[in-house]
A and B are shown apart, each in its own frame.
Chain A
Amino acid sequence: MKKRGDSAYNMIVVLALICAAAGLALGATYRATRGRIETQQLRERMAALRIVLPEAHKDGFREMSTPKSAFAAESRYYEAYDKALGDASGELVGYALEAEGDGYSSKIRVTVGVDPKGEVIRGIKITFQQETPGLGANCEAIEAEGTLWDAIAEGTLWNAFLRKGKEKTSEPRFQAQFRGKMFDSFVKVGNKYMNIDGLTGATITTNAVADAAVGAVEEFTKRILKYSDGT
């Protein structure tokens, strides 16, 4: 760095030019990646819907709008049919709700699937959390599938590194326990849900997920489902 060019004029021009170049580079990259980021988010949302309502057709989710509330963090919920939306013979197999709860160190987003009567939880999927690794983050922990040595022998280690295949085959144990239970069977005594196998050392995360999921179904059933026709 040379001594020359320390005049105020020079400093302003150089800094402004660098900022302008940075702005251009960022703008171009944003434009280039925006489509792909949106696709990824959509794909992730659809994957969560299919996990919580496995019996629904992959094109059978109809987005419904609703005011923002406890059960609808994004002002929407979904009707799910067992045939693609265009097919009139499709039957309603349930609803999917997107709820949000306050965890220990982050917002926790949960997608919940519920049967057409709004009573039985079909499944839940945590779509976002940044809880403490080793404690609250275990709500997304998947049981280890075999040992490292098997993986090396089978040549699947590289896939594990890229996170391929694993998410599809197994469901986190904490989330699996919600499947097939009536929402009103989750009773809270004091600070603890009686029939949930909580996460060790992470009561707040456990309760945040359960509150969000159970509360969403309860509110949806009492506020929306009761007044809609046909049910």
Chain B
Amino acid sequence: MSKWQIFKSGLFKNNPVFILYLGLCPVLATSTSIRDGFGMGVAATFVLLGSNVIVSAMRGVIPRKVRIPCFIVVIATFVTLVELFLAAYQPELSKSLGLFVPLIVVNCIILYRAESFASKNTVFSSFLDALGMGCGFTLALLLLAFIREGLGKGTLLGYELIPGFEPAVIMILPPGAFLTIGLLMGFFNWRKNRGKALKCD
């Protein structure tokens, strides 16, 4: 696999949200506005980059039996760093993301990439993989947040989208998140499977 493909795979072919169905909880919860969605995406990408690079650099040292505790310590360290930096430099974002920043620790995308990619590949490949997965995650969040903020508040980044548009509050509420992500997953599955012959068991 070429380096470019490693990066690209996380964007569409193996998009963590729409294809792998990972990390859905933060995606549903923080996609109520573009700003929060973007902040969550960048925070998770940073943690993913840090954990992938460190895990990959130490892949010859970590004993196999305690690999999961080791990964979790590395991931939790980067999450705490993000928390501190957000509180220091982006207090508004830190307040609106709230509990979902510490919860990045248990975001399965990050542990999944550490286990299935970073612990078997070189540092540079792992870096690209993290970047691709992180961007894929951020793109998914932005897409969801764009639809939900647009329909649910009638705004984009706090600016009115169409004057006089009456927003549907349900799109901001949890049901709106499930509706949107279900339809988007359906669309991506259709795109993936189109042209293939139907198989019946």
Contact = CB atoms under 8 A, between A and B. Distances in A.
Interface residues of B, number: 49
Nearest to A10: B63
Interface string B131-154: 000000000000000000000111
B81 A14 contact: no
Interface residues of A, number: 44
A44 B152 CA distance: 29
B73 A22 contact: yes
Nearest to A201: B169
Interface string B11-46: 000000000000000000000110100100000000
Nearest to B77: A22
A146 B154 CA distance: 12
Nearest to A132: B173
A130 B99 contact: yes
Nearest to B32: A133
Nearest to B30: A133
A7 B59 CA distance: 16
A1 B95 CA distance: 39
B185 interface: no
A33 B73 contact: no
A64 interface: no
Contacts of B158: 142, 144-145, 160, 166
Contact of A40 (B64, B73, B87): B87
Given A1-B119, A135-B173, A144 B155 contact: yes
- A10, A30, A144, A151: most-surrounded residue (chain B CB, <10 A): A144
Contacts, number: 116
A153 B23 CA distance: 37
A26 B84 CA distance: 9
Given A144-B160, A161-B35, 15 more contacts: A5-B63, A7-B63, A14-B62, A14-B66, A14-B70, A18-B74, A22-B74, A33-B88, A37-B84, A37-B88, A40-B87, A40-B88, A146-B160, A148-B155, A148-B157
A151 B89 contact: no
Given A1-B64, A1-B119, A133-B32, A29 B156 contact: no
Interface of B: 32-33, 35, 38, 58-67, 69-70, 73-74, 76-77, 80-81, 84-85, 87-89, 91-92, 95, 98-99, 119-120, 152-163, 169, 172-173
A19 interface: yes
A11 B66 CA distance: 7
Given A1-B64, A25-B81, A134 B157 contact: no
Interface in A1-60: 1-3, 5-7, 10-11, 14-15, 18-19, 22, 25-26, 29-30, 33, 36-37, 40-41, 44
Nearest to B98: A130
A interface: dominant SS? helix
Interface in A138-195: 142, 144-148, 150-151, 157, 160-161, 163, 166
B163 A128 contact: no
Contacts of B80: 26, 29
B126 to A, nearest CB: 13
A161 B158 CA distance: 9
A40 B91 contact: yes
Contacts of B154: 144
